[in-house]
Chain A
């Protein structure tokens, strides 16, 4: 995973050129491959393939009732009925809408922001790079749930010192109100994500050959021009990969809204698709519906990842 992120296209080409001829196999290599891949295969099977298969199985069954439903439920194969219900449920569609609004705000800020930080770190202007890198990375080390609790404290009127200070300055902001709710959530995620992705971009920038930069300088390109026209295109692959991982992560948004829901009734039980799934399973005890929604989310994640990957490889070839 990290290899993909940190390998710029140039390096990939270099690797292709010096690739070892395939006929020179080292003895015992196959066994080594099996041994090295086994833990991954076991984990992937245990925590992804089996649960996904089980979810697909559950999604075509339903606890069905007749009439008023009191005491006459039975488990029945219902085919795609649960999928139809999920896809026509206005609250599920709204949760997708909320997530899209969040993505539209979050991903550009995250990618552009961390790329800007990385370029600054790489530019030679930044002093104490090691320190800056660590400082930027540090918020990522705080678990998401802890960060959300801290932000909840800072957002809640009446207990937040920040809001109290603003209030003293005669500025009244409702960070958990209708207009600022999604920006407030984006803010929480940014603090954890910016530094982490900056480090990824910075590492990619380190691999940009210095000759290219020298050539740019000889051609009279300034620092900004070099950054935008030379460096950014060369780390394009990592930008796309970061975008893809963030997209998949964002589709599964759960922790931050779940915690913020304590302080604002604007966040309902079905605010994001993942919360919808949780609500279907544990508040409405409809496992079939929850499974169908999970399968739909999985399909959506796969499709988007595939689309982004295709886009990225086409870009790399060009």
Chain B
């Protein structure tokens, strides 16, 4: 499949070269477009690259689809960087970006981000790709956490959509009383990123880079509030405990014994794909608040593009990146390849995303309007750690033990404790708060 697409891309590229030769003499005496190589695991990227290649004559992009996840693209990119043969442009996620920046895999883009470009993307998105005052990647989306819920089940049992976490807890009790086999939500044992998003909402700050050194505090008051809250729901059997995307969880989503779940905006399309039978039953609500007077919401997910240190064409690569994250055509192409509910970091593109999204699954609800309101409340200042993938994995190992009597707080403590040796081995200035 991808080979055929690549062949198509090459054919388009070749045709462009031929057209350039046949037409008036090109400006560049060297002839031929600059080819930049691109590694990505994001859905719909082939269509984006094809659209770029079709509309650009001086730059052509050669895409290699890479496997997603830490064991896929991240390891491949790290090894390629060591070997000195990384592509010009690569996709990463917010969570693993600091590691790439520290390892020197990605170029410092600060001087290439002019004020005009900066103004086109949300400050919260820039915030998460800026370390120590330097920009290391270009964000494409920002994924505020929202509450996906079964509208039909809520109506059937006369439960109102919770606006605060206190209401959420009450709803969990009411639903359990009304339908003993159904639980309001699921505590994910396999996703430290979810827990991080929930902590972000209440002002938690696991890592900080203030004062020129890394500080770690996974048990700050905000995070502990979240940990204790979910611990109580788990202990009182008011929520399921399962890994996200596990068969057990998926079965609950499909058969209606799980009434809500929390995830980033992108998950709307994922839900449509994995649970087609839920069309018309699901709806999206803002994430419940701790303090409705000061609304805030964390993020889960989100992707960025970096230019690698091996790139021989950083200027062309930057032009491609800028096009990819701000040009409506790029977003249209991404959405044309199938369902996606990525929430663009560029507010100008929300309309494109909204138009390209099939609203019928969520009963015609204008979910993009909701995402837009939520994205504006994402707090600035959250920093992912220098080896966040490894840190998350340790926390998840602890969360998996919540079923066996360990606590959420213990998982966080261990995550902090076992992240430190790594950071010390890197020679980083570390201060454990």
A-side residues, CB < 8 A to B, are 62-71, 73, 76, 81-82, 85-86, 88-91, 156-159, 177-178, 264-270, 279, 282-286, 288-289
Contact = CB atoms under 8 A, between A and B. Distances in A.
29 contacts: A62-B425, A62-B426, A62-B427, A64-B426, A66-B428, A68-B131, A69-B214, A70-B102, A70-B132, A70-B136, A73-B102, A73-B103, A73-B104, A76-B427, A82-B425, A89-B418, A89-B421, A90-B418, A156-B247, A159-B247, A178-B401, A265-B190, A265-B399, A268-B393, A268-B397, A283-B70, A283-B387, A283-B389, A288-B425
Interface string B45-81: 0000000000000000000000000110011001100
Given A266-B401, A284-B422, A289-B425, A70 B101 contact: yes
Residue from A76, A88, A286 having most chain B Cβ neighbours under 10 A: A286
A136 to B, nearest CB: 35
Contacts of B401: 178, 266
B243 A65 contact: no
Contact of A70 (B134, B248, B397): B134
Main SS at interface, chain A? loop
A68 B400 contact: no
Residue from A69, A159, A282 having most chain B Cβ neighbours under 10 A: A69
A68 B429 contact: yes
B213 interface: yes
A66 B396 CA distance: 29
A283 B390 contact: yes
Contact of A68 (B190, B209, B393): B209
Given A67-B212, A88-B421, A286-B422, A265 B427 contact: no
A90 B79 CA distance: 27
B99 A285 contact: yes
Interface in B239-264: 243, 247-248, 251
A158 B248 contact: yes
Contacts of B418: 89-91
A266 B400 contact: yes
Nearest to A292: B425
Contacts of A269: 390, 393-394, 397
B193 to A, nearest CB: 14
Residue from A68, A76, A178, A270 having most chain B Cβ neighbours under 10 A: A68
Given A64-B426, A69-B428, A282 B75 contact: yes
Interface in B392-411: 393-394, 396-397, 399-401, 403-404
B426 A265 contact: no
B281 to A, nearest CB: 23
A64 B103 CA distance: 10
Given A73-B103, A269-B390, A85 B421 contact: yes
B289 interface: no
Given A282-B75, A283-B70, A63 B103 contact: yes
A68 B243 contact: no
A56 B396 CA distance: 32
Contacts, number: 126
Contacts of A266: 397, 400-401
Contacts of B389: 283
Nearest to B399: A265
B332 interface: no
Nearest to B74: A283
Given A62-B427, A71-B108, A283 B75 contact: yes
A67 B209 CA distance: 9
Contacts of B212: 67-68
B340 interface: no
Residue from B82, B390, B400, B418 having most chain A Cβ neighbours under 10 A: B390
A138 to B, nearest CB: 32
A69 B427 contact: yes
A218 to B, nearest CB: 58
Contact of B426 (A65, A156, A177): A65
B174 interface: no
B189 interface: yes
Contact of B425 (A85, A264, A279): A85
A69 B102 contact: yes
B92 to A, nearest CB: 13
Contacts of B99: 285
A178 B102 contact: no
B393 A65 contact: no
What 8 A-B pairs come out closest when comparing CB atoms? Answer: A268-B397, A265-B400, A64-B427, A89-B421, A178-B404, A85-B425, A69-B102, A285-B78
A269 B387 CA distance: 13
A6 to B, nearest CB: 42
Contacts of B78: 282, 285
B3 interface: no
A79 to B, nearest CB: 13
A138 B390 CA distance: 39
Interface in B183-203: 189-190
Contacts of B354: none
B386 interface: yes
Residue from B70, B103, B134, B214 having most chain A Cβ neighbours under 10 A: B103
A159 to B, nearest CB: 8
Contacts of A67: 132, 212-213, 428-429
Residue from B104, B108, B386 having most chain A Cβ neighbours under 10 A: B104
B214 A68 contact: yes
B427 A284 contact: no
B217 interface: no
A82 B248 CA distance: 41
B417 interface: yes
A158 B247 contact: yes
B425 A68 contact: no
Interface string B212-244: 111000000000000000000000000000010
A194 B78 CA distance: 41
Contact of A264 (B71, B103, B400): B400
B294 interface: no
Nearest to A269: B393
Contacts of B74: 283
